[in-house]
Amino acid sequence: MNYLIQFVKYAIGLFYLVGGPLIHAYFMTQQRALYSMLADQAWPLYQTLWNNLVLPNLMPLVVLLVIFEMAAGWLMVSRRPQRAQLGQLAGLIFNLLLIPFWFFYGLPNLLLVLAHGGLLFWERFESPTER
C-alpha cells in the first residue's frame, strides 16, 4: 500500500510542478479563448469575479497561478513531511476553491480534495520519511 500512496503523491505533485504549467502555457499561446468559457457553468459570484477581475488581468494572474502550482508541486514531492503537508494543504484548498466552477459537476476537484486530504493525513501520521 505504501508504494501506491507514494505513486499517487509523486504523480499529483509532478502534475502540479510540470503538467499544470504546461497546460497553461498551451492555453495562453494556442487556446486563449478557452479561459473566457471557464466560468460559463460556475456559480454566479464566480462568474462575476471571473469576467470582471480575472479575464481583464489574465496574463499576470495565469503567471501567478503557474508559480503557485509549481511551488505547491515542489512542496508535495518533498521528502520533508512538513513541506509535503504544506503542499498537500495548498492543493486541497486550491481544489476546494475550484469546485464552484463546476467543471464536470465539480467531480475532478472533489476527487483531488479527497486525494490531497488522504495524502495530508498520510504525510502527517504515516509517512516513513525523516521526521
Evaluate if residue 131 carries a pLDDT over 50: no
Residue 130 pLDDT grade (very low, low, confident, very high; cuts 50, 70, 90): very low
45 inside domain: yes
State the pLDDT at residue 10. 97
Residue 80: predicted pLDDT: 92
120 located within any domain? yes
Q: Look up the domain containing 36 and give its range.
A: 2-125
Cα-based torsion angle of the residue sequence 95, 68, 125, 112 in order, rounded to the nearest 10 degrees = 20
Distance, first Cα to last Cα, the chain: 20
Residue 52 inside a domain? The answer is yes
| Per-position DSSP letters for 10-73, written without gaps between them | HHHHHIIIIIHHHHHHHHHHH-THHHHHTTTTS-HHHHHHIIIIIGGGHHHHHHHHHHHHHHHH
Domain count, the chain: 1
Alpha-carbon distances of 61 from 42, 68, 85, rounded to whole Å = 19, 10, 25
pLDDT digits (tens, 9 = 90+) for 63-93: 999 999 999 999 999 999 999 999 999 999 9
Position 28 in a domain: yes
